[in-house]
Amino acid sequence: MRYAAPTSVAEAVALLGTEPNSRVFAGATDLVPQLRAGRPEPGVAIDLKKIPRLTSVAIDDGTWRIGAAAPTSDLTANEALTADVPGLVYASGLIGSDQIQNRASLGGNLCNASPAADAVPPLLVNTAQAVVAGPDGERTVPVADIPTGPGRTSLRPGEFVVEFLIDRPPPGTADAYLRLIPRTEMDIAIVGAAARITLDADGSCVAAAIALGAVAPTVITVPAASGGLIGQPIDARALAAVAAAASAAASPIDDKRGTVTYRRQVAGVLAKRAVAEAAGRARNGDGP
């Protein structure tokens, strides 16, 4: 296996085009364990960390541009980003240990295509877009369109994610992310739930988005839960409806981490709590 470290997007695309048995990586926090578990080695391992655009975190005319290979430790240390999307930043800080977060990235968390990926639900509720580069140039697609199943993505041969685009939330808006894991830290979510809520001056919900992880082959949104909040105050009745809709939308599997019945119940509980937390932040002015 040969190692390559391109310094531009064009160079990385060219490498992928000339080396058919090649693979990009952002932090190798998934790649290395997969190789140790017996996955075939790529002919060329292409490290994206040397490309400045892929490690940059900046705001440009009201839109956050987060490099797909930016270490998650850079995100958790960014106070302006945390103020705008605290749920996403919190989820980023759950990816592995402190040491791993110096290598782990949103791009890797997304493209590993785990249904339990922590960063994907908050990316979805914040309507994040992914800029994808490949032999035919660049295209921008919703993050929701990239994972297609466990370990599978919609990326075409020779493509990789360059950066994520997230518009700054409007006033009265905040997000939140919660998960349940078997241990106290450094584990895979049994269920993850993200919510983004916008409240008007009277405290009524004017916009909402809810996403669940680890309860389906990909992260899912719950339109029935979010749609039922519009025009309503975030009270006990509304939260109970969110819980019921989230549980109904979940279609998990039985495994050693949890049963179908348990995961459905947890999905409802976490969705309700995530909505309440996001609404509390929005109500208290903890968003933009």
- Domain ranges in the chain are 2-167, 173-284
Quick one: which of 264, 281, 16, 5 has its CA closest to 122?
281
> In this predicted model, what pLDDT tens digit does every residue of 74-84 receive, in sequence order?
999 999 999 99
Task: Give dist(CA 220, CA 212) in Å, integer.
Answer: 5
Rounded to an integer, what distance in angstroms lies between the CA atom of residue 75 and that of residue 90?
A: 9
Look over the chain and give the mean of its residue pLDDT values, rounded to a whole number: 94
CA torsion sign for 20, 116, 103, 69 is: positive
Average pLDDT over residues 26-41: 80
Asked, colleague to colleague, whether 2-167 and 173-284 share their fold, the answer is no
**CA–CA separation, 286 vs 279, rounded Å?**
10
- Give the pLDDT score at 287: 64
CATH 3.30.930.10 assigned to domain 2-167? The reply is no
Q: According to CATH, what is the number of the domain 173-284? A: 3.30.390.50
Average pLDDT over residues 233-259: 95
